[in-house]
Structure 1
Amino acid sequence: MIYLDNSATTFPKPESVIEAMSEFMRTTCANPGRSAHKMAQETNREILMARMELSQMLGVQNPMQTVFTKNASESLNMAINGYVKNGDHVVTSCMEHNSVLRPLHYLQDQGIINLTIVSSDDEGFVHARDIKEAINWETSLVAITHASNLTGSINDIEEISDMIKKENIGRDKNIVLLVDAAQTAGFADIDVTQMGIDMLAGAGHKCLYGPTGTGFLCVSENIKLRPVYRGGTGSMSESLEQPDFMPDMLETGTLNAAGIAGLRAGVKYIDQNQVSKLREKQQKYIARLIREFSGIDGVKLFGTRDASKRAGAVAINIRDRDSQEITHLLSSEYDIATRGGKHCAPLAHKRMGTLEQGMVRISVSSFTTDKDIDSVIQAVRELAKE
């Protein structure tokens, strides 16, 4: 099968990721932080190295501020529920994934927070000026996606961060910036320190080429989150209180050590092949898809036409045909894997006018080939004629 559903999870994984997990499971996979024997110590070391190498890639100065989770959704829930308090005002956007929208909607529905959802422009970009207009004196958190999982449009996080810094002047409590990097960690150049990001949530199984069941949350040292989970950490076992230091404070229960070993190998893969070169290849394919689809009668494109300003996905529709029908035909008749439907982003679809129809998302990775792109262009051209 031609796999073009990489925004959901990348496939294939690098051989080095598969080998790292296999070797780890065969020789090392003990319970980290719970025992003093050699295997447990080696597992601890693997997790520490993964934490350090991921932190270095993302510009996190203190690796202990990087927490491992099972996915970006868990990371975002930990950040949102661990930070906001009763009476807070939160600003987010219509382009967010449900991993942001649902926790915030629940908190608003329970009367805990007040929520403002700002709109995007027609290409799916969320602008600092619109966020600024929504901010008030009760605002404690701005939660914004780095790149839409629907249109791929990459937001200018530094512009948003600079605006928030200016808004924080004279405030008793600073507004914190939470960024959802599920679609960009491993694809875009991210330095949380230089970009002024207070909390960064991401997935290990997408552009970092790690296994499913891996994610992370990077938290600024001046932020202390309330633990969402409480339980065994392997530290302070004599106390009934959850540890109050990172990362133990947020890492409850046995970690997915084998998955983290695979994620570490994914980070190494990115480092060895260079983020910029991997991104350049993918954006070349995105530019070609945009160019070719623009010339097919009946195909509608969503998001910016500038491939340099989008992550590795193109979203289209063919006339008024249901997106799920198109993805089914791409799979059954052409053996091409894509994704149709609502993509867990209902407000983004509402903004783009596709809440009923959905969209067909075609997403690439560093393993995508010219032949893959040729095949999907031809398939869409044929489907558009029907």
Structure 2
Amino acid sequence: MTALTEAPATARTEAKLGFGVRFSRHMVTARWTPALGWSPLGLVPHRPLELSPAAMALHYGQAVFEGLKAYPRVDGSLALFRPGVNAERLNRSARRLAMPELPVTLFTEACEQLVRADADEVPRGPGQSLYLRPFMVAVEPSLGVRPANEYLFAVIASPVDHFFADGYEAIDVWCATDEIRAAPGGTGAAKCAGNYAASLSAKAQALARGCHEVLWLDAREHRFVEELGAMNFFAVGRDETGEPLLVTPELSGTILAGNTRGSLIELAGDLGIRTVQRPVALAELTAPDGPFTEAFACGTAASVVPIGAVTTPEGRSVIGDGRPGHVTTRLRDELTAIQYGQRTDGRGWMHAV
């Protein structure tokens, strides 16, 4: 993968922004206590947070977050993609970590305030957007092992290019056979900071082997594909009639319910492509005569990412011809056309700001 480098931010439509390395001028914050609930939202300059070194998030990991984007539309407007879905998932994550829930309307309003305040920083080049990172952390200073009694919610923003510096190209992935992302009964279905911290050693292994990301297997048998890095996984084969068939692991408590995942399943139905949710064995993904001719990952940050090859300790297996497949590309194009206003949004997914 090409290294991300800083470049002068003169023409935002041409400058290489990278992903998550630059930040807009403002952020939106609110605080929660048992007595007062959530405070009103405050729009403030993007600046360092003041936290006690005993803030409970630093010691016991009560930290959850979300990711969504504000898209520049062809008519000049800006719109968020299904922010209510992200708000609901933040609350599911918060419940799992014994944190307070945030009203969906407050979540959406916070995102709207930030986008309106920093609208002139939304990049408008191909594939560019303003990435929003809402998060909630425990800020009460205490070393007692219990849920905190004070929380900070904030939204920050970053003008971004495509998640991968290579752009829309098929990536190589490393299959971690001796580490797991999530176990049944754990926090795999929550978008919490600890899940990502535990994945970083495997990510380092992937990069050391020349791969872009980690393909995670199930915790029980280490046989079935679950996720790709922080993204949901899909494979493409054929049904009994020879028509394209989309296959993805079912949500079983160890897989994050992705906004992009759910949207692609709906879009596939609109295009006449049937989706089956079932376990996907690593062996059938990597077999030379296996049922799959395409595979891809998806998520807010990266949108749709084709998978060209899977590397395991036994060797490297190319999927299909190693390039972005027809179904993968069609789904990506349909989704991004809606997000950027190049196609009618028949489902009401785009939330105007």
Asked if TM exceeds 0.5, the reply is no
Higher-helix-fraction structure: 1
Q: Larger relative CO (CA 8 A, sep 6+): 1 or 2?
A: 1
**What TM-score results when the alignment is normalised by the length of structure 2?**
0.25
Give the TM-score taking structure 1 as reference length: 0.23
Between structures 1 and 2, the one with greater strand share? 2
